Structure 1
């Protein structure tokens, strides 16, 4: 009988290949047998703690083999996993935990030291005697195909995140898709945070097919680290966001040469970046992926190979095996060939809905007019069918992608409107050179003279960094259309970022750093005390800056060094410390 749950399918794989490596990480290498037994012990511990079938189990851990153990253990206990992203501010984690009913939280010492959300019980499996002493046998808790497997949270328009509840059936459908056949995905480098939808591919495609997950060390990743992991572990496939793919194309396009397939998506993919990578790696397959957490991660793909000539836009491509993709008009009727319609997705890959939000579920998961009792997911994406499959043609509504993450501007507006001194707020996505988007906040103050730094800090305290506006514009009033809606076309462009005119560089290294800050951030005249974040810097630009410093100045600094030392003066001191630690002197350089 075919397995109907993720953990039953995994257990069957562990019986077939018990001694094959399942997970490789900096802290451990686990075979399928070892992973199975460790997850069994933790599952028994969860059951002893009162976890019942269909209960949530929250997971907040550093990137490690323990994360995979915790996620699998939650499923083996009959529960579903509720991943928390370590980059979320604590108030956002608390919102998620409160809405889930204060579930058991699995965590580690590093996460505990940073602060945990309040909940009824916290377990640290690594040092827990009850876990170590639990049986290594499978607890044998069944789960049907429609039981929830996980709840992953995305931005919500109501001012709080919404949890997408994905069933076992959807994950199994993704793992069984024929696009993974052929061995290209047997060893996957898992770069995505486990609290985001792409992790469904990174976790379950290898584990349910006898492959291997390779986990990077904890912390922010840089080009050098990814290149090293690809080579050292013989990586055959990985997924990178469209923004990170473009960065690799600019900084080190040959990084993917040993790899069979690179998946990318989550935002507009640069055709020029694809050509640069394929020119440097002619044997590589670049697979453009389209999907959403509501359809168990990926739903369509397009394969791109050398020789590649850039086109105006890269297609969404063709639906995956069990995805029923339909282009419908406003009356839910199919559009004519070549016409533009909204993409609706039906089939076995649909999520159950939004966890404990029947109102939101009813808005996005609508009844199939041709099959009463069946549902379709309304994506909000406008598309047409062309010779290369589906082609993107725009969006319905306001939801946008920022650095590969889904963002509801209304959620950011809700936070800003609650700040002292703000009368009205509007947040829009602005496209930059190269296709990247950034959020711009337009604010009407109660009295003139809003404190931008204070507003930025207030948003960062409750929302992830990718939801913090890159620019703030103060207006006397928001422009409105004739029917009283926000007139986005009338919003003025924000003024270019400028340095504040801090102290000049002292020495050649500081001078070179000022020039690199200016080039990466697009801000002229950066001084040694100008702050990376105040100038509009974000994580991908930090990756680019670290790569440029290594390439042009010869210092192997990490992305964390950039983020923790955000001015030229601070970063210069950090580089001096590194040089001294390595026994280097400026004269030797």
Structure 2
């Protein structure tokens, strides 16, 4: 099968002078990008990269990260992309749970600073120049082509785990290829596409807003993340670089833009805006649809099903603000609403969202029990078909699925799926914390945030001290906004934590 890396190579051969990447320091053409990918793929193959091997990618945001991920796929291996700005302890947990046995790093200094538990010498992008000059990179790649099949591992992503540790999700090429080609086809991406890369590295949405445009022969604009996230620099960047496509924005980010007096000008020229990760209702209720001049698409899907499973184009006139409409399945995906016994529910009735088809992951690495619990046989499908039980609730109406929330404790924070148990586990490693329960709250703008309820000998422990403790192991999106100190955690008559009482305690402070 042809991967997105193969398509980049094909564009490099057919239109070598077309611009693939734009950065503040200059452009990278498809010919240059393809040559770099080939050289690094050769280095990886010489280091033993190949089918079913997981290569951790530790590279700063920018063209090098694009080269690195594409090169891993071109070498036949699977990538696990790291956000190198996260705490080293967190990155160690990710590469361990993800089974990474190769490391592709920007340079020796970064590899040494991260000190990841990956055996062998890392492959360094600084070796690429030597490989290109001597021909060893490209020659090796051409001499040893790797036949990628749909069932081979493509990449490893992570979700917040109920055990307090991140869970590694194994995505095969059939799911990734089906999804990227659907995005390019359904959204009409092509050589005239100019997409701004918004999602952070290490988050699977970054795969979409980087490689769907490149697969289609478009151009990706790569800017420092701080510049992308600040409205005062975001709008000028959209205009300066002629951005017309945004494939990975969260409703929280849209609401942030909408709160500015120049909100109507920030998206000038944008003809496609794709939002996912959270409920879009607060943004639409506040009248945000009128601020998007082009097509606005609400996407839904879990990491375990290759990023996106359904989509809904929000009408410009009279969008539905009473329901969270997530629409209809993408090509190659089946969505069933089932009851607790996995029997279908009638249209209009509430059921659990269960997803089948091309995007369903292989499962969780080294977690057979959790895999068996969440990935189940499809009772309505052909022999061997599987469903992923999302834990999300929805009902079906003529305009598609209406999302109704979670059936368990998982929540969404700025587009990330969070299990509070992971934050609770990190809090309990603090010597002064005896008990911890994390719940969700919503601010006046409809944004969800984490609230940590803690007990223990905390008289001399400040909130900044608790945040500093958490920052050693957790990324920013798992950081509670507030800490509520209690003498003891309230419980129900059955002895379980009384979350209703906790919510009231948090709201009263």
Query: What is the TM-score normalised by the length of structure 1?
Result: 0.79
Equivalent position to 2:337, from 323, 327, 332: 327
Q: Does 1:206 align with 2:213?
A: yes
Whether the aligned pair in 1 keeps the contact of 2:420 and 2:438 (CA below 8 Å) is: yes
Per-residue deviation at 1:352?
Answer: 1.4
Q: Does 1:187 align with 2:198?
A: no
Equivalent position to 2:268, from 247, 257, 267: 257
Whether the aligned pair in 1 keeps the contact of 2:326 and 2:400 (CA below 8 Å) is: yes
Distance 2:41 2:316 in 1: 47
Count of paired positions: 494
- Structure 2, unmatched stretches of 5+, are none
Whether the aligned pair in 2 keeps the contact of 1:285 and 1:304 (CA below 8 Å) is: yes
Whether the aligned pair in 1 keeps the contact of 2:285 and 2:321 (CA below 8 Å) is: no
Whether the aligned pair in 2 keeps the contact of 1:253 and 1:276 (CA below 8 Å) is: no
Of 331-340 and 90-99, more deviation after overlay is shown by 90-99
Distance 2:494 2:468 in 1: 34
Counting only pairs closer than 5 Å after superposition, residues 51-200 of structure 1 correspond to structure 2 as: 51-101=49-99, 103-108=101-106, 112=110, 115-118=113-116, 119-120=118-119, 121-126=121-126, 128-132=128-132, 133=134, 134-137=136-139, 138-139=141-142, 140-177=145-182, 178-181=185-188, 183=190, 186-200=193-207
Distance 1:109 1:276 in 2: 47
Q: Does 1:290 align with 2:310?
A: no
Q: Does 1:306 align with 2:316?
A: yes
Distance 2:393 2:12 in 1: 42
Of 245-254 and 457-466, more deviation after overlay is shown by 245-254
Q: Does 1:399 align with 2:406?
A: no
Distance 2:338 2:506 in 1: 37
Of 51-60 and 239-248, more deviation after overlay is shown by 51-60
Change beyond 3 A, Cα 1:182–1:124: closer
TM superposition outliers: structure 1 runs of 4+ over 6 Å: none
Residues 99-149 of structure 1 show CA distances to partners (whole Å, capped at 9, x for unaligned) of 345533222359729921333323331455543333335441121111111
Of 243-252 and 108-117, more deviation after overlay is shown by 108-117
- Root mean square deviation of aligned Cα: 2.4
Paired residue secondary structure (1:115): helix
Whether the aligned pair in 1 keeps the contact of 2:199 and 2:205 (CA below 8 Å) is: yes
Per-residue deviation at 1:433?
Answer: 1.5
Equivalent position to 1:385, from 386, 390, 396: 396
Distance 2:354 2:506 in 1: 36
Whether the aligned pair in 2 keeps the contact of 1:242 and 1:268 (CA below 8 Å) is: yes
2:365 maps to 355
Of 117-126 and 423-432, more deviation after overlay is shown by 117-126
Per-residue deviation at 1:176?
Answer: 2.2
Paired residue secondary structure (2:309): strand
Paired residue secondary structure (1:489): helix
Paired residue secondary structure (1:324): strand
Distance 1:278 1:236 in 2: 17
Whether the aligned pair in 2 keeps the contact of 1:290 and 1:316 (CA below 8 Å) is: yes
Paired residue secondary structure (1:401): strand
Distance 1:275 1:438 in 2: 19
Paired residue secondary structure (2:274): strand
Change beyond 3 A, Cα 1:306–1:406: same
1:494 maps to 506
Equivalent position to 1:411, from 406, 422, 427: 422
Distance 2:285 2:190 in 1: 23
Distance 1:448 1:226 in 2: 42
Residues 261-291 of structure 1 show CA distances to partners (whole Å, capped at 9, x for unaligned) of 111121121455576444345x411111111
Distance 1:250 1:310 in 2: 21
Query: What is the TM-score normalised by the length of structure 2?
Result: 0.90
Paired residue secondary structure (2:162): coil
1:518 maps to none
Larger-gyration structure (1/2): 1
Q: Does 1:240 align with 2:249?
A: yes
Distance 2:189 2:336 in 1: 29
Change beyond 3 A, Cα 1:43–1:444: same
Q: Does 1:467 align with 2:478?
A: yes
Distance 1:326 1:294 in 2: 16
Of 404-413 and 210-219, more deviation after overlay is shown by 210-219
Distance 2:216 2:39 in 1: 23
1:561 maps to none
Per-residue deviation at 1:154?
Answer: 2.1
Distance 1:146 1:14 in 2: 27
1:35 maps to 33
1:452 maps to 463
2:239 maps to 231
Distance 2:458 2:85 in 1: 33
Paired residue secondary structure (2:477): helix
Distance 1:167 1:447 in 2: 47
Residues 220-247 of structure 1 show CA distances to partners (whole Å, capped at 9, x for unaligned) of 5311322122112221210311100111
Whether the aligned pair in 1 keeps the contact of 2:19 and 2:29 (CA below 8 Å) is: yes
Per-residue deviation at 1:18?
Answer: 3.1
Distance 1:51 1:301 in 2: 35
